[in-house]
Structure formats: C-alpha cells, structure tokens
C-alpha cells in the first residue's frame, strides 16, 4: 500500500508538471478501497450527522451549498492519487468567514468532525475524510481582496487557485512567491496550511517568510484576525505561523496576505555534466557565489536518472553521458547581464574542470526542453516496473549518500536513482523493481527513515504528514516536540474535531 | 516619561549606528528611577529568592556563575536607554542548555520569576527585570556550533553576539541575514526572541523565513529540540515560530540554526531628490522592477529631516535641496552589472522626472558619507530640543500621511519629520519641541496610535512590546488574537514565571 501511494505520487507529479497523460497501472483503476479498511483505522467518538444538522447547515448556507447527493459527494472523499477514500455524507461550501465560523461553532458543540478541503491535491491523504467527517470545501471562497502593487502585498480568500492568483499578479508585474506542479488546482489556503515549498523556494524563500497575515477560524468558531499586510509588525505573539503547516488541525485558514516579488524579466537555464557528486556540491557553492541573487533553481540528477529517462521517454540530452548532471536556472531583471554571468560561470567552471560539458539556454523552447528531461524522471521510472519513492531532506554533505547505500543493500534486483532540489536539501530517491515485492519493502523501510533520522534529516521534506505519515513522524520529531504538538492541539481544538486521524500520532 | 524613553531611543540608535558619542541630556544622568515606581506596577505573587535557592544555583553553575554582589548585578537591572531599572538580586550565567533546563525546572517549582537577558539592547524594557526576577544571562552561551559553507546553515548558541557571528560567516563568504545598529552588543538569541528586523530585511527577508531550527526551554525545564538545519521539513507543527518574537515569555531560546546568504561582492548607493511623496512611491515601484534582485535598501527622508540634519551635524548633501529624498542601496554579485543597472535606472527616472537630481556612489568612503546623512537624522533632532519618536508600520499608500496630519495638528510649535524604510513599510516620525510639554504629549497620544490602528498599521514595527508597550498592543491586535496569546501563555508557562510584566496586557 505504501508502494501504491508512492508510485501514484510520481505519476501525479509528472502529470501536473508536464500535462502529459501517462497510461499507467492506476489510470483506469476502480474506486479506491476505503481508507478505514485499508489502513485499519478505528472511528473516534464523534457525533453522526443527522437530518437536523443538515437543516441547520442549509439555514446558514442555502440549499445548494449543502451537498448530500452520494455521487456529488464522492469526489470529495477521494484524494488526487486515489490512495485514500473517506465516507463523508455531506460537503459544505461556505462563501464567507462568518459562515465558516458558524459551521465550526455548531460542529464543535455537537462533536461533529470536520475535514477542510482546498484543491485536494495533497499527497499524504490530509485533504480527504477518513470516516464520515463533514467536508468543508473552500472552492467558493475564491475572491482576490486587494493587491498593493507597490509593496507587492496580495490579500485573498483561502479558496483561490494558485495559478489564478499568479496570473492575476503577473498582470501587475508581480509573481506569487511559490510555484507547484499542482498550481492549476491547489488552493492558496491549502498551500499555507501545508507549508507548500515548491520550485521557487531557493530564490523566494518559504511561506513563513512570505506570509504577511492570516485570518483563521478556531475549532470553536472564534475568528482569529491577523490579516495585516505589513512586513514589520512586532506587536505580540506571531500567531499566523500556528496555521502554517499544521494541515488544518489547529484552525482553518480563511484569508491570507502574502508578499509577491517582482516578475523576473529574464530566465536562463544551464545543463551541465559532472564527474562526481562532490563536484556537484562544489559547483553549487560556486554558483551561489557567482550568481548569488539570480540563482532560482539548482537541481541534480545522477546518470542513472537521466539514462532511463532519455531511453523511456525518447528524449535527447543536449550533452553526452556523464556520472552526474546539474540543471541550473536564473531569474533576473536584465537578460544581457544574466546571460553574461551564466556564460562566465560556465566558462570558468569548465576551466576548473568542475563542469565537464554544458549548455546554456535562454529561448523558452530550449529552456522547456531541458526542464522536460528533469521533470520526466518520475514517469520514466514507472515504465520500468514498480517504484518506491522517497521525498526526504538531508544535510548537503550527506545529500547523496543513501543512494549508494541502497544500491549496495539491494544489489542487482533493483534500480536506485537519486535526483532533486540541492538548493533546498531535498532529494528524491526512487527504487524501481520489476514487480511489487514485500521483501524489498522490508529492506527499504524503516531502514531509510532510520538513516534519515540519524543524519538529522526530514522524512517528509514538503508533502507533510497528513493521514499517511503520522507513524513516521517520530523519525523527525522527538518526544518533547511531539508533546508540545499534542498540547497545542488540545488547546486549540479540545474536542479534536478538526481534521482528525491526521498529523498527530495516536500514541503522543 | 514616554518622552524620555522616546528621546533616549534616538540617541541609542544613533550611537549604535555611527559610533559617535552625543553629549545629550541623558549622557550623565543619575541612576534611573525604579521601573516599579516610575510606572506604578504591582509585584505579582512570585516566590522570593532565599539563601537555599542561591546554594542550589551554585551547585548547578559553580560559585562564579551565580552573581549576587549588588554592584555586579546593577548593570543587569538597567536597560540600554536607561529608562527602566529592576531590582534583581541575582544573575545566573548558564553555559549549557542542561543548566538552563535545571534552573527553569527549579524556578517553576518554587514560583521564582525569571528574566532572560541577551545583549540587553532592547528598546522597550523587555530585557531587564521589573522587580526581583532572577536574571538569566546568556553571555556565556556564545559558541558557534557548526557552519555548512555550502548550504549556508549556521548553528550557534543563543548568547553569540550578532557581529561576532557575522564576522565569522564573512570569513566563509557568507553574511548573517540580519543587520542592526546594535550588532556589536545584541545576542542572536535575543534577535530571534524579539524578531529583530533591521537594515537588510528588504533584501534578505525576515527571521521567520531565515530561521532553520531552534532549541528552546519551556518554563517547566522541558527542552524543545527543533534544531534541524533543513530548508524543507514538513513533519508536524512548525514549533520554532512560537519562540520568534514572543520575547522570552513562552520559552527561552538556547540554540538556533539560521540560513546565511552569500556575501555580496558589490555595493552601490544612490541618493536622489524628488518633488513629492507620490513620486517616492512611484520611484520605489520602478526600482523594484528595474533592480529587482539587487535592491537591498530603499529609504525615504523628507526635506525637513535632511535640512535639520545637515545644519546640526554640519554635513554636506551631495545634491541640492528637494522636498523629498531617497537613499537606495544595492547588493549584488557583479559590480559592473550593478553600476550599469543603477546608472540606467537613474538616467531613465531623471528623464521621466521622478528623480529631479541624483548621485550614485560605489566607493566605500562615498557610500559611508551618504549613509551618514540618513543615520544622523535622530541625533540631529535631539539638538533642537525634546523629541517624541514613533516607530510604526503603515500600508505604503498611507505611509506618509500622518506627517502632514501632525503638522496641522501641532502648528508652528513643533517640528514634525518623517523618514524610514519604505521597503519595509516602516516609518519613523519624530516630533521635536523646545522642551517637554505634557499638553503636546496629549495632542500626540493616543491620536497617533488610533490613526495607525485605523490604517491597519502596527504600533510597534520592530521594537516589540516588552515592558513599555503592553498598554498599546490593542491598537494592533484585536481581542481574538489577544485571547489566543493569553491561552498560549497559560499553556506554555502556567505559573507565569517567564519574563513577567512583559508583552501581555493585564486585562486580557
């Protein structure tokens, strides 16, 4: 089951990034098994939705925004990668914070569990119910409230789709500070609730830094209004961060203010071949120093990643075969300056021998062709058999060491590849075998998580914990931290109605 | 009293930034009045330190690190601007997190109040005791633990002085992501606890974005270990942010991991004259677009600020007199490119008429001379009489509007100037009169705070709340937010021993 999840994940990431339909083993699968059965979860002691409850919700929201028809509710019960299926009987579609507040106050009093849902693009089952939790969909809270073109402060409702907001601010010469494969579907409220990282983190930083303000509703219906759009505000506790990355378990984000950087005028992409991983790190250090402020991505791929991708996806590399590859991107305000910097960097590092061969692209078509190789890796793996995928953060010095370790551990039965965002310390490790094999799973897990833990890494770099990973959280959080998490949950949501069965392990 | 505080603040900022000794009215003042008398505060129901307690502390820390001699304790009782004076009888100097943990566990059990103290450079009385709180000084927890030169992740103890850490990382081609006037004295643990902003925020973002990990001790002695140095880690609640900006009232920071950006190779400074404030904003928008990734500071000053500064400090402006001035700085990786960008920007905006006159400096001496004008403003005000200073954040569209409002309100009796960090929405408003006048104070306050509140601004942009501002916090935080603050305080520190009389107003 873990494998299915993992494999599905690769497909979705690929689909989302490249808009290519892969005819894979899960494309035509039947309705997923119920999460409660598949993962053997016991329902907690919540109330059950009654006709009177439905009537109450209708009195707040109107008839149309209380969905109870089984087939209409179904899509809200199944996650994007078709790994989880809940049993909710009702979806509520509030349009205002006041409505969200009323719904939660009522549910809290009646002990009715609630599952907040944005674009439902999460990869760890956090956005769908497990049992009969009421789904609170934010699809109708999708208004952009204001944009300060000078400061770059955007204020909008939680249900805005990331791509729509990005298009909106691009018309004002700004961009959203985050970019994800799922941008056409995911909601900005979900991005904040899951602390989405994405492709631009190296350049524009994380959401804790970009988020200016938040409005959120506590389990008891209290609206926490921290919706200022100021860059500096040291008046008391910085409450908004409680709602970033807590996956809807401490409160529900209804509005947010975020800082949008200026739209870059020039984009450059380089693709380089290198001798070994040590040189990949040395080159990263040099790129940071030479390109500093314009460096927007620094991705690494081992030869095994690229070789299989070129073969399976029928792509051509702009350079011959090397043990390691780097894809480097810049975002800047002056095309001539950026090209000059990148060419100078390439020329210098070819002289030093760090780069064995390389190409630099500035035309959109060529840029896209290079990115396509990088983005096709997950889907290319799928074509070779069954894939176990891991998405972990590691200190840079140890970034690649799990790959040779796993190769040695698994021998010739498996193909192990490593690729990822070096700039963010985030590596994807894919292990491909011909067919699913429980023994291989036993060799991989918990070994990988234990190694990540020893190296002070993170067992979930960006996807979060959700429903699928609470049992692994202790590999990255010690008892003191887990204890404080539990205390915060009890404080903010004493009846535990907000997104139950998620994030917190039961034994904390 | 507010005025004395305000005036002192100006001197200190100036002293810290320029290293010039100002012979002002407070330079030779006697011991400050006790805070408890000055501000009429009642001691809360804490225990009183007994001989047995001292013996216990000595058993943990050794004799030398338990300071009880009155004259040795005195400097720890008085804040930097000599506005507050506490009555502590004992200063403890732990060297390890374990010692901090033991001290807090003991104090929590005995209901002994504790005041954590870093470099004691705070401007709102947050770092000194009010009554007989035990001072916990971090001056001996000053070790740099590790630096990952490639990722830029620095791990160090809380008592490291910011400038020392900055010098250390500069030797490795990196800089600290924050810079403050007080850098030679302030501790990085204090920076985190107060969410210090400083001079580089426009370029390098805020501490919530830069901080990678934290180790903190709760009131009951529990060590919360979130000291990972990863850029991406979505495993559960993002606990570290609880300790950022909560001024030592929720827990005490003992170690931290922070991301250090690359040391810029080129610095450029421009100084421009403009016709009106509207053009200052238009020019900012253009600078963000033209200079995007290299813009590191955008400061505005009205003519009244500059005229008085040139006169009182006997400085010369590189350009003639204009209604408004902008000081713009860039940090970049290529001097030629940066100069070309800045010159092109200057030339273009002189053509459009946004810039009436301007100069660009790249030599350190000339850069310093321009910054000196900007940094001398507070001290220059002091020479004209008594100064009321306000440090507020406002939306950019309303950034300057309080200045003409106050001029109209106060008439010819007062000089009102406005200057500050437009890039961060942070304006300093100084009101100078010949001598302190309670009536003028009544005209200024709470008027200013009310106006800031109406405009959704912040009554404390960067200095925090500390001991001096809890009564003003409601102008920037509503009851829901204050209620949640109180709940968090009760959760994390049920006996209220951590930095009492600070941050939280009594009536919440």
Q: What is the pLDDT of residues B226-284, one digit of tens each?
A: 999 999 999 999 999 999 999 999 999 999 999 999 999 999 999 999 999 999 999 99
Of all residues in chain B, the one with the smallest CA distance to A285 is B150
pLDDT at B29: 52
Over range A5-13, report the average pLDDT.
Answer: 33
Q: How confident is the model at residue B338 (pLDDT cuts 50, 70, 90)?
A: very high
Task: Tell me which residue has tokens 């509710």.
Answer: A73
Distance from CA of A292 to the nearest CA of B (A): 6
Q: What does DSSP assign to residue B504? A: S
Which residues of chain B does A206 touch, with a Cβ-Cβ cutoff of 8 Å?
Answer: 209, 231-232
- Residue of A223, A231, A285, A506 to mutate when probing chain B, most B C-beta within 10 A: A231
Element (H, E) at B343: helix B335-352
Closest Cβ–Cβ partner in A333, A340, A464 for B234: A464
Asked if the Cβ–Cβ distance from A231 to B333 is below 8 Å, we say no
Longest dimension (CA), chain A: 76
Query: CB–CB of B292 and A197 under 8 A?
Result: no
**H-run or E-run covering B33:** none
Q: State yes or no: cis peptide before B446, omega within 30 of 0.
A: yes
pLDDT of residue A508: 67
Task: For A373-429, write each residue's pLDDT tens digit.
Answer: 998 998 899 899 888 888 999 999 999 999 999 999 999 989 999 999 998 899 999
Structure tokens at B303: 């003519």
B335-338 own/partner pairs: CB under 8 Å, 24+ apart: B335/B265, B335/B266, B335/B268, B335/B362, B337/A334, B337/A337, B337/A340, B337/A341, B338/B266, B338/B268, B338/B294
Query: Under an 8 A CB cutoff, do B291 and A476 touch?
Result: no
The residues, ordered by sequence, that sit 6+ positions from A344 with a Cβ below 8 Å of its Cβ are A290
Distance CA(A118)–CA(A126), nearest Å, equals 10
Band the pLDDT of B387: cuts 50, 70, 90. Answer: confident
The answer to whether the beta carbons of residues B115 and B127 sit under 8 Å apart is yes
Cβ–Cβ gap A292/B151 under 8 Å: no
Asked if B91 contacts B135 with a C-beta cutoff of 8 angstroms, the reply is yes
Cβ neighbour number for residue A65 with a 10 Å cutoff: 17
B235/A206 CB distance under 8 A: no
How close does chain B come to A121, measured CA to CA in Å?
16
User: Which residues in chain A are closer than 8 Å to B476, comparing Cβ atoms?
Assistant: 228, 233, 235-236
Tell me which chain B residues have a C-beta less than 8 angstroms from the C-beta of A232.
197, 201, 206, 393, 421, 424-426, 458, 461-462
Distance from CA of B69 to the nearest CA of A (A): 34
What is the per-residue pLDDT across B394-410, written as a single tens digit (0 to 9) for each? 999 999 999 999 999 99
pLDDT digits (tens, 9 = 90+) for B418-477: 999 998 899 999 999 998 888 998 999 899 999 999 999 999 999 999 999 999 999 999
Closest CA in chain A for residue B465: A235
The answer to whether B231 contacts A195, with C-beta atoms less than 8 Å apart, is no
Phi, psi of A51 (to 5 degrees): -55, -35
Q: Which residues of B touch A462 (CB under 8 A)?
A: 232, 234
Picking from B291, B393, B481, the nearest residue to A224 by CB comes out as B481
Option in B150, B246, B290 nearest A237 (CB)? B246
Question: At A6, is the pLDDT very low, low, confident or very high (cuts 50, 70, 90)?
Answer: very low
- Which among B202, B235, B278 is the top mutation candidate for probing chain A, defined by the most A β-carbons within 10 Å of its own β-carbon? B235
> Over 70: is that where the pLDDT of A215 sits?
yes
Determine the residue among A209, A228, A237 to mutate to test chain B binding: the one whose Cβ has the most chain B Cβ atoms within 10 Å. Answer: A237
pLDDT tens readout for residues B481-497: 999 999 999 999 999 99
- Alpha-carbon distance B208 to nearest alpha carbon in chain A (angstroms): 5
A463 → closest Cβ in B210, B234, B476: B234
Min distance A398 CA to chain B CA atoms (Å): 11
Give whole-number Cα distances, B188 to A274, A459, B214, B414, B463, in Å: 39, 29, 12, 38, 15
Using an 8 Å CB-CB cutoff, list chain B residues near A153. 395
- Work out the minimum CA distance from B376 to partner chain A, whole angstroms: 23
Reported as a single tens digit per residue, the pLDDT across B128-169 is: 999 999 999 999 999 999 999 989 999 999 999 999 999 999
pLDDT over threshold 80, residue B10 = no
Helices (H) and strands (E) in chain A, counts: 17, 16
Average of per-residue pLDDT across B189-214: 93
- Within A258-401, where are the H helices? 277-291, 303-313, 335-352, 364-382
CB atoms within 10 A of CB B23: 6
Average pLDDT over residues B98-119: 98
Paired sense of beta strands A266-274 and A223-226, if any: unpaired
Interchain contact, B235 vs A458, CB within 8 Å:
yes
| Minimal-distance CA residue of chain B relative to A194 | B234
CB contact under 8 A, A476 and B233: yes
Return the residue in A174, A234, A259 with the most chain B beta carbons within 10 A, the one to mutate for interface testing: A234
**How many angstroms separate the CA of residue B51 from the nearest CA in chain A?**
32
Q: Has residue A28 got a pLDDT over 50? A: no
Facing residue for B285 by CB, picked from A149, A206, A487:
A149
* Residue B277 three-state SS: helix
Report whether pLDDT(A8) > 60.
no
- Mean pLDDT rounded to a whole number for chain B: 91
Q: Are B232 and A424 an interchain contact pair (Cβ–Cβ within 8 Å)?
A: yes
- For the beta sheet containing A66-67, the strands, ordered from the edge strand earlier in sequence to the opposite edge, are A66-67, A91-92, A134-137, A114-117
Residues of A in contact with B481 (CB under 8 A): 224-226, 236, 239
Question: In terms of CA atoms, which chain B residue is nearest residue A207?
Answer: B209
CA separation, residue A206 to residues A262, A386, B233 (Å): 16, 33, 11
Domains of chain B, start order: 2-22+265-369 (3.30.70.2190), 33-137 (3.30.43.10), 144-259 (3.30.465.10), 384-469 (3.30.70.2740)
Query: pTM for this one?
Result: 0.91
Going by pLDDT thresholds of 50, 70 and 90, the confidence category of residue B17 is very low
Contacts of B226 in chain A (CB under 8 A): 477, 481
- Taking an 8 Å cut-off on Cβ atoms, the answer to whether B264 and A292 are in contact is yes
pLDDT band for position B68 (cuts 50, 70, 90): very high
Phi and psi of A310, rounded to 5°? -60, -40
pLDDT band at B339 (very low <50, low <70, confident <90, very high): very high
The residue of B206, B216, B293 whose CB has the most chain A CBs within 10 angstroms, and thus the best one to mutate to test that interface, is: B293
Bridging pattern class, strands B295-302 and B324-332: antiparallel
The rounded percent of chain A whose pLDDT value lies above 90 is: 83
Tell if the CB–CB gap between A236 and B504 is shorter than 8 Å. yes
- The tens digit of pLDDT for each residue in A116-169 reads 999 999 989 999 999 999 999 999 999 999 999 989 999 999 999 999 999 999
Calpha distance B474→B466 (Å, rounded): 14
Label residue B216 by pLDDT band (50, 70, 90).
very high
- Tokens 């209220």, located at residue: B496
Contacts of B439 (CB under 8 A, 6+ apart): none
Residues of B in contact with A424 (CB under 8 A): 231-232
- ipTM rounded to 2 decimals: 0.91
Residue B7 predicted with pLDDT over 50 = no
Do B269 and B360 form a contact (C-beta atoms < 8 A)?
yes
Q: Which residues, 6+ apart, have CB-to-CB distance to A59 below 8 Å?
A: none
SS3 content of chain A, % helix, strand, coil (to 5): 40, 20, 40
Give yes or no for residue A507 having a pLDDT over 90: no
Please answer yes or no on whether B152 and A197 come within 8 Å at the CB atom.
no
Say whether B246 and A231 touch across the interface (CB within 8 A): no
As given in the structure block, the two tokens for residue A384 are 């070779």
Q: How big is the CA angle at B383 (ends B380 and B389), to the nearest 5 degrees?
A: 65
Determine the distance in angstroms separating the CA of A401 from the nearest CA of chain B, rounded to an integer: 16
CB-CB neighbors (< 8 A) of A503 in chain B: 236-237
Strands B144-148 and A415-421 turn out to be unpaired
Closest-CA residue of B relative to A298 is B151
* Residue of B148, B424, B503 with shortest CB distance to A396: B148
Percentage of chain B modeled with pLDDT above 90: 83
User: Chain A partners of B253 at a C-beta cutoff of 8 Å?
Assistant: none
Q: Which residues of A342-369 are buried (b: 16+ CB within 10 A; e: fewer)?
A: beebbeebeeeebbbebebbeeeeebeb
pLDDT of B441 reads 87
Of residues B151, B222, B460, nearest to A234 (C-beta): B460
- Chain A residues with beta carbon closer than 8 angstroms to that of B224: 480-481, 484
> pLDDT at position B13, please?
35
């Amino acid at each position: 089951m873990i494998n299915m999840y993992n494999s599905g994940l690769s497909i979705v990431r690929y689909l989302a990034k490249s808009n290519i339909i892969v005819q894979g083993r899960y494309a035509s699968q039947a309705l997923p098994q119920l999460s409660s059965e598949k993962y053997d979860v016991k329902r907690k002691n919540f109330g059950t939705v009654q006709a009177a409850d439905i009537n109450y919700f209708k009195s707040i929201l109107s008839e149309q925004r209380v969905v109870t028809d089984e087939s209409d509710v179904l899509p809200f019960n199944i996650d994007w990668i078709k790994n989880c299926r809940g049993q909710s009987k009702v979806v509520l579609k509030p349009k205002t914070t006041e409505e969200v507040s009323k719904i939660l106050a009522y549910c809290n009093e009646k002990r009715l569990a609630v599952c907040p849902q944005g674009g439902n693009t999460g990869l760890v089952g956090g956005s769908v119910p497990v049992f009969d939790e009421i789904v609170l969909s934010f699809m109708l809270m999708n208004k952009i409230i204001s944009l300060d073109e000078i400061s770059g402060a955007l204020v909008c409702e939680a249900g805005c789709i990331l791509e729509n907001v990005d298009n909106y601010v691009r018309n004002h010469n700004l961009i959203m500070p985050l970019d994800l494969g799922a941008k056409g579907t995911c909601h900005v409220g979900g991005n904040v609730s899951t602390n989405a990282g994405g492709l631009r983190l190296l350049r524009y930083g994380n959401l804790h830094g970009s988020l200016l303000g938040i409005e959120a509703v506590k389990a008891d219906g209290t609206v926490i209004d921290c919706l200022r759009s100021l860059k500096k505000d040291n008046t008391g506790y910085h409450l908004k961060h409680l709602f970033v990355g807590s996956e809807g378990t401490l409160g529900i984000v209804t509005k947010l203010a975020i800082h949008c950087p200026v739209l870059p005028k020039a984009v450059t992409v380089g693709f380089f071949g290198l001798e070994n991983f040590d040189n990949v790190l040395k080159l990263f250090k040099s790129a940071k120093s030479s390109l500093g402020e314009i460096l927007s991505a620094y991705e690494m791929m081992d030869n095994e990643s690229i070789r299989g991708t070129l073969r399976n996806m029928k792509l051509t590399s702009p350079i011959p075969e090397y043990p390691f590859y780097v894809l480097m991107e810049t975002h800047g305000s002056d095309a001539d300056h950026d090209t000059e910097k990148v060419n100078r960097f390439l020329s210098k590092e070819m002289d030093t021998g760090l780069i064995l061969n390389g190409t630099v692209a500035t035309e959109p078509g060529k840029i896209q062709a290079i990115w396509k190789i990088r983005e096709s890796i997950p889907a290319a793996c799928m074509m070779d058999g069954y894939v176990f995928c891991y998405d972990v953060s590691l200190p840079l010095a140890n970034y690649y060491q799990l790959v040779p370790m796993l190769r040695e551990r698994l021998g010739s039965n498996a193909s192990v590849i490593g690729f990822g965002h070096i700039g963010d310390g985030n590596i994807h490790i894919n292990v491909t075998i011909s067919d699913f094999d429980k023994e291989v799973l036993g060799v991989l897990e918990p070994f990988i998580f234990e190694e990540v833990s020893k190296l002070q890494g993170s067992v979930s770099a960006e996807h979060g914990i959700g429903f699928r990973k609470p049992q692994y959280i202790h590999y990255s959080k010690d008892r003191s931290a887990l204890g404080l998490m539990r205390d915060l949950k009890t404080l903010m949501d004493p009846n535990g109605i907000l997104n139950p069965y998620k994030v917190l392990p039961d034994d904390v």
